[in-house]
Structure 1
Amino acid sequence: MSDDSYVFGGPADEPAAPRDNNPPLSISELSFALKRTLEDRFGHVRLRGEISKVTRHASGHVYLTLKDDKACIDGVVWKGQARGLGVQPELGLEVIVTGKITSYPARSSYQIVIETMEAAGAGALLAQLERLKVRLQGEGLFDPARKQPIPTFPVVIGVITSPTGAVIRDILHRIAERWPCRVIVWPVVVQGDAACGQVSNAIRGFDALTPGGPIPRPDLLIVARGGGSVEDLWCFNDEGLARAVAAARIPIISAVGHETDTTLIDFVSDRRAPTPTGAAEIATPVLADLRAAVLDLDRRLVRAGGRLIEERRTRLRAVERGLPVRPEDLLALPRQRLDHAGSRLGSALHRNTAVHERRLISVAGRLSRGVLDRALERRRDRLGATAARYAPTMERRLDQEGARLAALVRALSSLNPATPKPGFARVESADGAMIAAAAALQPGQAVRLVFADGARGAHVDGDAPPAPRPKPAPKPAPKPRVPPPGQGDLF
Structure 2
Amino acid sequence: MNIVILNVSYAEKNAAKALGARWNADLRKWYVPGGTELAPFARWLPEGTVAAAQTPATLAENTGPYEVAGITGVPLSQLMGRVRALVQHSFAQGVWTLVEVSGVQARNGHVYLELAERDGTGAVLAQARGMIWAARAAQLLPEFNRATGIEVAAGIKLLVRARPVFHERFGMSLEIDAIDPDYSLGDLEARKKQIRLRLQQEGIFDANRQLPPPWDFNHVLVLSPENAAGLGDFRAEAQRLEQYGLCRFTYVHSRFQGEGAGGELARALLSGLQACRQAGQQPDALVIIRGGGAVNDLAWLNDYELARAICMLDIPVLTGIGHERDSTLPDEVAQARYDTPSKVIVAIEQRIVQRAREARDAFEQARSLATRALQHRRLQLEQQHTLVQQGARRVLADARQHSGQWFGDLRLSALGHVQQARRNSQLFMEQARAQAQQQLNVAHGQVPMLLAQVRSRAESMLSAARSGSQLQLQAIVGQSRSELAHGRQQVHEQLSTVQHEAARQVQAARSQSRASLDNLLQLGRQQSRECAAGIRQDLGSVSHEARRSLGEARRQSTALFREIAGQGPDKTLSRGFALIRNQQGRPVSSATAVQPGQRLEIEFKDGRLDAQVVAIKGEPQHD
Q: Whose helix proportion is higher, 1 or 2?
A: 2
**TM-score normalised according to structure 1 size:** 0.43
- Say which one has the larger Rg: 2
Q: Which one has more relative contact order, counting CA pairs under 8 Å at least 6 apart?
A: 2
